Structures are given as structure tokens and as C-alpha cells.
Amino acid sequence: MSAGSGTSAVPGVARGRSGLAAWVVPGLRAIVALIAGFAITFTSGHSAAFGLVVFGLFALVQGAIIAAGAFGDRTERRSRGLFALQGVLTVIAGVAALVLPEGGVHYLVWVVSAWAIVTGALELVSGIRDRGRVGAARDWMFLGGLTLILAIAFLIVPPDYNQALGGIEQVKGQLTASVVLDGIFGAWAIVAGVLLGIAAASARSPLPATGPMTGPMSGPMSGKAAS
């Protein structure tokens, strides 16, 4: 969410004399994250390969958006570098997922958790560095922490988890690690998408400026997130 004209709401957003409109990048990132989340939610055939393909496509587009927003800014070099790096690393993670979709559960865990740890930490560090100087810093810390939680969730799911469904509803099938991991990523993507959507809407109709904060990611709310 933007704090005022010339500010932006989320990582990778640039607005001002030489940047993008503040709502464009978070809006695009929100769309990508929500598509990924709903694709997982409304698809029944969950598997490690499905998770890798969905994550790979998500990361490719999301990373390109973040990097484009960061490189498009000319006002806040300190934050821009970290978000540019985040975008590039996200693209690399997407490529890694797509080149080996048959990698299995262990590869899915490795790719997603490594991506979440690195990019979550980068966003968290951005928030800590700019705390008190940029209004969005606390939101970068929140979203960075949320992405780190995604990594932890992936790492604690046993790769060989396999539980027969049943119970009072008599549902047939198996609850496997692949199903759980796909569901976790889908839930994270939806939450990140909603946050990014709110940030984009707020940046589109900013509040009156209350201070001299400017730069690629200033404002009371930043994003995935997602994406």
C-alpha cells in the first residue's frame, strides 16, 4: 500500500519520475500468485511433478516481474539491489523446477525450500535495513517471515509420508507428502496474492503523503509476496 504519490507498496514496485506506477507490479504479482494458488486448490491430481511445474511457472513469471520493477526504479538504490537479486533468484528457482519435473518429492522440497529461505531472508533483511526510514519496511519483514515459514513447513513434512484416507466420511485414497506439499504452497500463494492485491488497490488510490518517504517500495504495506 502506498503512503502517497510517488511511493510504492510492495517489493519490486517503482513509481515516480523514472519508475512504474505503484500499483502495477503488486497487481501483476497478485494475479500470478492467485492463479498458482487456485490452480493447486482446484486440481485433484496432486503430485511432485505437478507441484514442480506449478511452482516453476509461478517463479519464472513472478521473478521476472520483481526484477523488472526493481531495475525500472531509479530512486532507491539501497532497496533496489536486494529486490533485483530476489527477482533473479526467483527466476533461477523456476528454471530449476521446470528442467526436472520428474525430480520427485525430495527435489520439490529442495527447490521450494531453498527458494523460500533465500528470498524470504532477502525480503526480511530489506525490511530490517529500512525500518524507520521506509514505511513499508515492517511489511517486508512480515512477508519475508511468511516466506520463511513456507520453507519450514516444507522441511518438516516427511518425504515418505503416506496416510490412507477414510474415517467417518469414508473417503478413498492416499494422503501423500506430494499432496500435502502442493497444498501448503497453494495456501501460501493465495495468502500472498490477497496481500499483494490489497497492496495494489491501496497504491492505486494512495493516502495523502505524510512525510518525505519515497523510493521503489515505500508505503505501509508491501508484498506474496508473492511474487
- Cα–Cα dist 156/61, whole Å: 27
DSSP state of 173: S
CA angle 208, 211, 215 (to 5 degrees): 95
Q: Give the predicted TM-score (pTM) of the model.
A: 0.78
- Residues in Cβ contact with 203 at an 8 Å cutoff, skipping those fewer than 6 apart: 1, 2, 7, 8, 9, 10, 13, 15, 21, 22, 23, 26, 219
Query: What is the per-residue pLDDT for 80?
Result: 82
Q: Which sign does the torsion angle of CA 92, 93, 98, 99 carry?
A: positive
pLDDT tens per residue, range 109-157: 999 999 999 999 998 998 788 787 765 566 678 778 889 999 999 999 9
Q: Which helix (H) or strand (E) holds 107?
A: helix 104-129
- pLDDT (tens place) for every residue of the chain, 227 residues total: 333 333 444 444 334 434 456 678 788 989 999 999 999 999 888 899 999 999 999 999 999 998 988 876 555 566 788 889 999 999 999 999 999 999 999 999 999 999 999 999 998 998 788 787 765 566 678 778 889 999 999 999 998 887 776 555 555 667 889 999 999 999 999 998 988 888 778 767 765 544 444 343 433 344 444 44
- Cα–Cα dist 61/12, whole Å: 13
